[in-house]
Structure 1
Amino acid sequence: MDTGTHVVMGIAVGSIATLDPVVANDPLLAQTIMLGALIGSQAPDFDTVLKLRNNAKYIRNHRGITHSIPAVVLWPILITAALAFFIPGVNLLHLWAWTFSAVILHVFVDIFNAYGTQALYPFKKKWIALGVIYIFDPFIFIGHIVAIIFWQIGFHQGFTFLTLYFVLIFYYVWRFYARNKVYKLAMQEHPDATHVFISPSFKWRRWHVVIRTKDMMYVAQAEKDQIKYHESYPFEPIPNIPIINAAKKDENLSAFLSFSPSYRWEIVDEGDHQEVRFIDLRYRSKGHYPFVAIVKIDNNHNILSSYTGWIYNQDTLKKKLEFATE
């Protein structure tokens, strides 16, 4: 989820904690838990700092180890220890338990996005991405804002947010139902499909769909029980040829391939060099595919520069490649 939603979810956890009798009878503990829940709701995303290094590090590692089982165990301990140092005398068990709840909630809701997390690492390295909730869901965010308003005007803090979360359970169930309808529709039209990639959009009833068969890849949009096709491409596995093998050694392309399950590739001859381009098909926007990986290679298969990330026009891409280094 986005940062704002994680913040309001931290407030929700801190509020529900007031239903704990120990917390309810200790105002200082309640305030400390609210602080711990807010920090815990953000802690797994501290790896965003990797973006300061480069996009490859960020793409390969974001929502990786910081969302793993060891991290989920470690974050609450570190946060509890830090808060206990500055606010001595609070109940450590209850502070840890509710901070742990905030961290768990963060990781849990992230698996419902199309991006996903490595939540089961080190037992499984596979990314878990259920693709039922958009990265910013207005219903979830606004629901939290409404609950905060109700709390501020006098409604019971804990029961208000607990009620909201009961509503959200049904909302998530409905989103699963809606996604499964899209999947069944895609399989009806392409019974030979080997993969169907479904991503939610900002609009509830609109889904991004990529269908892969043995021979073709279809980029489509599902809405109102219909699939509208945008483009189709021959499905071409990555070939074992020198220029591609050289490009795959590049950090940016390697990061892209570790993240993207549905893409097409092409080799563009620019005269004095060639560009190996990989385009993620999941994020089509206004006829454009903004998430790409480009490797610029000379005629001797030496990497000149590369880039991976979100690009919305060719001028920006050229500038990125000019300043990028191998």
Structure 2
Amino acid sequence: MDTGTHVVMGVALGGLATLDPAVQSDPALFNAVFIGVMAGSQAPDLDTVNKLRNNAVYIRHHRGITHSMPAVALWGISIAGLIYAFFPQVDFLHLWLWTFFAVILHVFVDVFNAYGTQAYRPFSNRWVAYGIINTFDPYIFGLHIVGIIAWALGANPGITFLIVWFVLVLYYLKRYFTKREMVNKIKNHYDHVEQIVTSPTIRYNKWRLAITTMDKFYVGRADNGEIEILDEFKRKPLPDLPVMQKAIEDENMDAFLSFSPVYRWEIDEYDDYTEVRLIDLRYRSNERYPFVAVVTLDDDLNILSSYTGWIFSEEKLQKKLDILPT
């Protein structure tokens, strides 16, 4: 989820903690727990600092090891231990349990996005992305804001957020069954479906779809349950060509391949260079596919430039590759 949603979920968890008799009866423990759940609700996303290095490092590592099972355990105990140093009089067990729960909740809600996490590490490095909730869901965020306002106006925080989260459980279930219905429709229509990637949009009834069959990729959308195919591509494996073998050694393209589950490729030859491009098919927007990895090489297969990330115009991409003057 986005940072704002993790923040309001941390506040909600602080409110729920008041249902714990130990927290309810000890103001110092409540303060320590509230700090713990707020820190725990953000901690796994500290890997966002990788963005300062470059896109390749960010794409490869964001929501990776920091969202893994060992990391979740370490976040909980380390954050609780640090807070305990400032609140040595409080019950450490309750402090740790609520902080640990906050970290678990962060990772748990992230797996329902299309982006996903590597939550099963070290047992599996695959990206877990169930694709039923947008990274920012206005209903989830808005419901938490209502709960926070109710708390500020004097409502019992524990009961308030129990109600909020009960409604959210129903909401998640509704989204799950909506996705299952779409998936069944697609499987009944196409033969040999190997993969269906769903990407919810910020609008409740609109979804992006990327469908992989034995010989084709289909890109479409669903609107109020009606499925429309927008693009169709022949499915072709990466060619066993020297230019492709060299391109995929580049860190930008290697990061893209480690993350994207469905993409197509292009090789274009120009007077002074050859361009190899990988195009993620999950994020079609305004008739473009903005998430790409591109490598340019000279005739001797030396890499001239490369880029991976989100790009919304060809001119900007070429400038990042230093092909057009700035």
TM-score for both structures, normalised by structure 2: 0.97
Pairing of 1:82-161 with structure 2 (within 5 A): 82-161=82-161
Instruction: Give the letter for the 1:208 counterpart.
Output: R
- Partner SS, residue 186 of structure 1: helix
Pairing of 1:1-326 with structure 2 (within 5 A): 1-322=1-322
Distance in 2 between the 1:4 and 1:282 partners? 24
- Partner SS, residue 135 of structure 1: coil
Distance in 1 between the 2:139 and 2:105 partners? 17
Aligned residues: 323
8 Å CA contact 1:185–1:225 kept in 2: the answer is no
Distance in 2 between the 1:192 and 1:108 partners? 31
- Partner SS, residue 194 of structure 1: strand
| Unmatched 5+ stretches in structure 2 | none
Distance in 1 between the 2:84 and 2:224 partners? 53
- Partner SS, residue 164 of structure 2: helix
Deviation by residue 1:157-202 (Cα, 9 ceiling, x = unmatched): 1110111111111111100000011111111221222222211111
8 Å CA contact 1:268–1:274 kept in 2: the answer is yes
Distance in 2 between the 1:313 and 1:165 partners? 41
Distance in 1 between the 2:104 and 2:281 partners? 31
**Cα drift, residue 265 of structure 1:** 0.5
8 Å CA contact 1:64–1:118 kept in 2: the answer is yes
- Partner SS, residue 117 of structure 1: coil
Distance in 2 between the 1:302 and 1:197 partners? 35
Distance in 1 between the 2:320 and 2:174 partners? 42
- Partner SS, residue 160 of structure 2: helix
Q: What is the percentage of aligned positions where both structures have the same residue? A: 53
**Cα drift, residue 110 of structure 1:** 0.4
**Cα drift, residue 15 of structure 1:** 0.9
**CA-atom RMSD in angstroms:** 1.1
| Unmatched 5+ stretches in structure 1 | none
Deviation by residue 1:193-247 (Cα, 9 ceiling, x = unmatched): 2222211111111111111222221111111222112111111111111000000
**Cα drift, residue 86 of structure 1:** 2.4
Distance in 1 between the 2:315 and 2:204 partners? 33
Distance in 2 between the 1:91 and 1:320 partners? 53
Instruction: Give the letter for the 1:143 counterpart.
Output: L
Distance in 1 between the 2:194 and 2:83 partners? 50
Distance in 2 between the 1:66 and 1:206 partners? 31
**Cα drift, residue 6 of structure 1:** 0.2
Distance in 2 between the 1:235 and 1:293 partners? 18
| Mean CA deviation greater in 227-236 or 271-280 | 227-236
Distance in 1 between the 2:53 and 2:217 partners? 34
8 Å CA contact 1:216–1:232 kept in 2: the answer is yes
| Mean CA deviation greater in 313-322 or 12-21 | 313-322
Distance in 1 between the 2:272 and 2:294 partners? 16
